[in-house]
Amino acid sequence: MALRVLICASEIVPFAKTGGLADVAGALPKALAARGHDARVALPKYGAVDMGQAKPTKAASVSVSLGGETHEVGVEVSQAIPGVTAYLVDSPPHFARKGLYGEADDAERFAVYCCAVLEFVRTSDWRPQVIHCNDWQTGLLPVYLKQAGAGDEALQAIATLYTVHNLAYQGLFPPGVLDHIGLDASLFTVDGLEFYGQVSFLKGGLVFSDLLSTVSPSYAKEILTEEYGERLEGVLQQRRADLYGVLNGLDVDAWNPATDELIAARYGATDLAAKAANKHALQQRLGLPQRPEVPVLGVVSRLAGQKGFDLLGEALPDLLQLDLQFVILGTGEPQYHELLSQFSEQYPHRLGLKLGFDNPLAHLIYAGSDLFLMPSHYEPCGLGQMISLRYGTIPVVRHVGGLADTVVDFSSDPERGNGFSFQSKRATGLMEAIARAVMTMQKRATWRKLVRRAMACDFSWGRSAEAYLGIYQRAIARHRS
């Protein structure tokens, strides 16, 4: 039976993106629609939203009353995602801005978004069976739904799934915000939205949704512990029977070395000679010596402590003494901008650095590198390692979260291994894993076999979409009971 699902997220490709959430929220509905389900999406209409060629049309106007104020909000419809209807919540005072987050009035902005979605659903001819909420910006949707549904049969039947993409981002605001966003002070309890003296939008989703999920099986287990639970492990322990881990999929159309127009030469598992042309182009692009034999280690990442740049920064002084080349693309915390810039100036023939976002260069790094580094301290899922595997660029990762679910250490399991991993929280663990990878590269026949095995890994959205469909069914059954 076809399901009706509304996926709500603060960013969705192709409209707006700051991270992996946008990729997931854009790819999952396409995979569901391909299986015959009616999957739709809803996001705010930011000032920076990219409408592309599919211009939206006005669908409705709704009134949102919060804290004694009434906000008139438009809802526009776009078909920019093939086969998927997208609703854009248009409230210029709240969203007609350049950025997506980090505004002083974020609590009101996303409260308006959540309420407008529900009011549109209540008054629309189309009604979802499940609303799939994602991250803290949608955390109040299940809260408002429970309140509104108490007196409205149209909303009472809707089940909810709440997905955490990164538990560290929680949407925390002072207690006084409750009155401003139309919620009763009685919700400010340990069993409600209160979190160490603040209001947590994310906790609202965790407490009030029918079922919960996160973006890899290993991360679903990790967040139950004090080490990774971000002080919410107690709440999650109470709901562990309702928590699922579903590995994110990869958009295999956008990331395909056989058809990628952004790389120097397209190639497949049976034509690895063409991969060498990408290595040459990458070295040339970043001003590195054109040496086909030297191992090139690539990084495409947010430059942050979470991503293990403290480990990489500690290891680089020793690694840059070796016959290796590094290519790093990303932006993030100023301390790592400064550190990497210093290394780049000191070792211009061994470290090529681009601070910022550069999509063509990202594709070339995936295609032209030999190894891809992801030494994350925690990683809910990770897409970089999936992309690098698809491009035959062998990942070197810390054995954590989604990295543990997707990368099998070749040294420990030569028959199944598709990369190299380490468990240590120290830079020595990263250096040792890189050493194992470089030594394996010297065995050419073994390396070619490893590269072909990596490229054969299937991380397309099919399996993940089927898993979500099963969870949607369980959420509907749970809600009815």
**Residue 304 DSSP class:** S
**Residue 271 DSSP class:** -
Angle at CA of residue 225, ends 223 and 229, nearest 5°: 45
- Would you say 69 and 183 are in contact if contact means Cβ atoms under 8 Å apart? no
Positions of the chain with pLDDT lower than 70, given as ranges: 51-54, 149
Residue spans of alpha helices (H) in 55-200: 92-95, 106-123, 141-149, 153-156, 177-180
Tell me what pLDDT residue 156 has.
Answer: 92
- Nearest Cα to 192, choosing from 179, 174, 180, 205? 205
Tell me what pLDDT residue 211 has.
Answer: 98
β-bridge partners, 164: 214
Tell me what pLDDT residue 53 has.
Answer: 57
Contacts of 336 (CB under 8 A, 6+ apart): 303, 304, 309, 313
Distance of CA 202 to the CA centre of its chain: 16
* DSSP-derived pairing of the beta strands 371-374 and 351-355: unpaired
Please give the order of strands across the beta sheet that includes 198-200: 172-173, 198-200, 194-195
- Nearest Cα to 341, choosing from 378, 303, 369? 303
- Nearest Cα to 264, choosing from 390, 353, 364? 364
CB atoms within 10 A of CB 256: 14
Torsions phi, psi for 300 (to 5 deg): -130, 110
* DSSP-derived pairing of the beta strands 325-332 and 351-355: parallel
Torsions phi, psi for 348 (to 5 deg): -65, -20
Tell me what pLDDT residue 52 has.
Answer: 63
- Nearest Cα to 328, choosing from 306, 281, 305, 296? 296
Strand spans (E) along 9-49 = 38-44
Greatest alpha-carbon pair distance for the chain in Å reads: 71
User: In whole angstroms, how large is the CA radius of gyration of the chain?
Assistant: 23
Q: What whole-number distance in Å separates Cα of residue 215 and Cα of residue 114?
A: 22
Strand spans (E) along 4-68 = 4-8, 38-44, 57-66
Domains defined for the chain, CATH in brackets: 4-249+462-480 (3.40.50.2000), 273-458 (3.40.50.2000)
**Dihedral class, residue 83 (left if φ above 0, else alpha if ψ from -120 to 50, else beta):** left
- Would you say 182 and 368 are in contact if contact means Cβ atoms under 8 Å apart? no
